[in-house]
Structure 1
Amino acid sequence: MSQHTSNNTEISSPDDGLSISFVESITAISDSEWSRLGFVAHETNPFIDYRFLQALEDSGSVTAERGWKPLHLVAYQNGQLVAFMPLYIKGHSFGEFVFDWAWANAYQRHGLEYYPKALTASPLSPITGPRLLHKNLEPEQQLAIINTVSEWLKQNYISSWHINFLDQDGVDLLSNSSLLPRRDIQFHWMNQSYASFDDFLSNLKAKKRKNILRERRQVASCGWSFEWLTGRQATDEDWQLFYDMYKKTFDEKGSWSQLTPEFFPLLAKSMGDQVLLLFAKKDNQRLAGAYFIRSKTHLYGRYWGSLVEEEFLHFETCYYQGIDYAIEQKLEVFEPGAQGEHKLARGFNPVLTYSYHDIVEPAFREAIDKALRYETKEIDQLLDYYEAHSAYKSTAKHS
């Protein structure tokens, strides 16, 4: 991809006590520096963990050649790392799940370059989480970092900066900035201390409950069984088989499978039991699989692949098996991935997600701001519709 950014990785400091710079790899930060930030992945969010970001880089999945140039922000105070923010210079909009292709096309129609752009997010992961990890910085200092990056964009001919899937702390912070807010909807399953899958089903409306039971019975009657493996248990051969499934499914959809084969075993080795591989088997053959990551409180469904076509197998493998696991492990939330209105009828609840956008070109900023205001009204109306069509009974634990 074309690059207009300079090789200078230092940017002006927002105040005398805070020194801000960029690093071109997560490995430029030492383990001891990272640990001083006080971020513990198993308790919070594995998708912003050092090991996850390192596996993406070391596996060759996230590189400049693939349109993801790492340029992470670090801030030091008195020689100590006090803030980190993942940052990538992007040559495309793949793997983001906050769709700005229309913006890129509008730039092109007007003879302007939309790429390169800057992205702060967990690559290839539509997972809400912290985006500015910091150690006891005041809100004013955090905003100063944001404003400093905004100025850097203009100096380096970057069209825009996109901060995707922010948690509530990030939303609260950026609501006081000049960045443009955007909303979308995902579907998450919430564990209401269910004792079993049947307990969960008892909280659903009769029609939804019967439909789920019918789908599960059909898969079971066809002879499918399921095998869970942790990252510690799965072998390199297991990961290669899953990668073949994953790539075949992406290829059939005409999509780009951005993760390399090396990514899955690398992350399994570093994150161990937080990584989960589920195989669907028939006649003792592994024919489909799903990839999950967990934290202390959440289960995240990330990738699916299959060597065969089988009705409802995707729902069983990616949704119902995940719900079973979350109930058994007493996890609070199961996030099965982006989009998917069909999840609503299967016990997943609509949840708002948030992103913020810094558009450098004034005319385009004004147009995008106007479009986002209209889009927000549509999202709010859609959220109301989804909530009115919940799969749950009005007397359920869910309500």
Structure 2
Amino acid sequence: MTTPSRPDETGLSFTCVEAIAALPRKAWNALVGDDHPFLRHEFLDALEASGAVSPGTGWTPRHLAVWRGESLVGALPSYDKDHSCGEYVFDWGWADAWERAGGNYYPKALSAIPFTPAPGPRLALAPGEDRQAIMRLLADSWEKRDILSWHLLFADDAEVDDWRAARPNLIERKGVQFQWQDADFGDFDGFLAAMTSRRRKEIRRERRIVADQGLSLHRLEGEAIDDEALEHFYRCYQVTYMERGRQGYLNYAFFQRLRDSLPEALVLIQARLQGKPVAAALCLQGRHTLYGRYWGSEVMADCLHFEACYYQGIEHCLEKGLSHFDPGTQGEHKITRGFAPRLLRSLHYIADPRLHDAVARFCREEGVQVEAYCQHAEALLPFKR
């Protein structure tokens, strides 16, 4: 942990912490709440303790902790990055352009959740703290460092607006994900009833195809996910990456630590053939939201991905009273299955005015296209008008 900054006129100071374990778990979790499991101390610690996030993998923790006296009143997960892998807001082109011009793009500062493109709050504050004052305090910390850039990824809209108010020179970049939201459907049949006849019949057909192949689906939560189930899931997870010719970002130690320290957040959807598990999707859940994150299969089976990664998640939300389902990035095929486009925003500080101006121009032009795409995708949703 770095030496605390000198308290400002309001009594606030901050430290830069090189391991989440150095910060008090209860105090951190009291700030972040329970609807965003990726912000939880246990999740971030599992990444670091397993070695998935470390200087050796290009992720050096530099978490920003805000203090009022000895009380933790603000927390922002942050890292120094030696590359742009595992972020899902791609700036490879920016890095290439700057390095061709003779500059050094890396290391860069990043406030995000590693390997996790799930929208949500990033800066967690105690009630009553001045959000703008703390944002200005933290912005000073990266602006005084000898780095080219800082990036805030997948923050929610209110936080993006607050950061831009605190630092108007931040560049905004837009993106799109597809997410499901409950509209008082009641149950899965109610969800289908809200759709056009054609799409309703198609989803029922896809679910029958899965059943006709002899596959059955089972949802395991928390402590019901035993070592055997977790080991099988991890084999499936690695299969997905091996098909692309590489290893997964996350190791088995990460998933094991997560299961042991945060079991209430885990939902494992398991596909079985003749009683034997053959595919698995691991989700995390908060108080209002299910997050679909990790998937893999040992078999080739028609429509199984749709069933395990989409329909089972929707059913789980409807049964458990969760209002949102975020199934992960990409995938226009989600639109016809009831996942609506959501416009996302990231923020980028770039110190050098030449690169800043070029990136700002690119993001403005890209943003027009993204907004048009989002409107077009909205019109393709399969619900009755």
Question: TM-score scaled to structure 2, two decimals?
Answer: 0.95
Deviation for aligned residue 1:322:
0.7
Alpha-carbon deviations, 1:172-216, whole Å to 9, x = none? Answer: 212212211111111111112222211101111222222211111
1:127-161 CA-partner distances (Å, limit 9, x unpaired): 11111111122133123223213323xx33x2211
Moved over 6 A (4+): none
Residue of structure 2 in register with 1:27 after alignment: 21
**Structure 1: 5+ residue stretches without partners:** 1-6, 395-399
| Counterpart residue identity of residue 168, structure 1 | D
Matched, 1:375 2:369: no
Match of 1:3 in 2: none
Residue 274 in structure 1 maps to residue 265 in structure 2: yes
| Conserved? CA contact 2:15–2:65, under 8 Å | yes
Indicate yes or no: 2:338 matched with 1:347: yes
- The aligned length equals 382
Contact 1:87 1:120 in 2 (8 A): yes
Give the distance between the partners of 2:142 and 2:230, measured in 1 at CA. Answer: 40
- Structure 1 stretch displaced more, 349-358 or 266-275: 266-275
Query: How far 1:332 sits from its partner (Å)?
Result: 0.1
Q: Which residue pairs with 2:157 in the alignment?
A: 168
- Give the counterpart of 2:33 among 29, 40, 49: 40
Partner in structure 1 of residue 53 of structure 2: 62
1:298-348 C-alpha deviation (Å, 9 max, x unpaired): 111001011111121111110011111111112100110011111001110
Q: Is the 8 A contact 2:2 2:17 kept in 1?
A: no
Deviates more, 1:292-301 or 1:26-35: 26-35
Query: Separation in 2 of the partners of 1:297 and 1:218?
Result: 31
The amino acid that maps onto 2:74 is A
1:140 alignment partner in structure 2: 132
Q: Which runs of 5+ in 2 are unaligned?
A: none
Q: Does 1:159 align with 2:151?
A: no
- SS of match in other structure, 1:171: helix
- Aligned counterpart for 1:333 among listed residues 311, 315, 324: 324
For 1:34, the aligned partner's letter is: W
Question: Could you tell me which of 283, 286, 311 is aligned with 1:320?
Answer: 311
Give 1:351 shift: 0.7
- Whole-Å separation in 2 of the counterparts to 1:77 and 1:299: 34
Residue of 141, 144, 157 corresponding to 1:149: 141
Report which stretch shifted further, 343-352 or 245-254: 245-254
For 1:144, give the aligned amino acid. Answer: R
2:200 to 188, 202, 209: 209
Question: Are residues 218 and 205 of structure 1, via their aligned partners in 2, closer, same or farther at CA, if it must alter by over 3 Å?
Answer: same
Residue identity in the other structure for 1:100? D
CA RMSD of aligned residues (A): 1.7
Is residue 2:112 matched to residue 1:121?
Answer: yes
Percentage of pairs with the same residue: 38
Could you tell me how far apart the structure 2 residues matched to 1:143 and 1:19 are? 12
- Mapped to 1, the partners of 2:181 and 2:246 lie a distance apart of 30
Alpha-carbon separation, structure 2, partners of 1:160 and 1:14: 24
- Seen in structure 2, the aligned counterparts of structure 1 residues 280 and 117 have a Cα distance that, compared at 3 Å, is same
State how far apart, in whole Å, the 2-side matches of 1:382 and 1:146 are.
34
Quick one: distance in 2 between partners of 1:38 and 1:23? Answer: 17
Cα gap change, 1:328 to 1:32, in 2 (>3 Å): closer
* 1:109 Cα deviation from its structure 2 partner: 1.7
Per-residue deviation, 1:225: 0.3
Is the Cα–Cα contact under 8 Å of residues 90 and 116 in structure 1 kept in the other structure?
A: yes
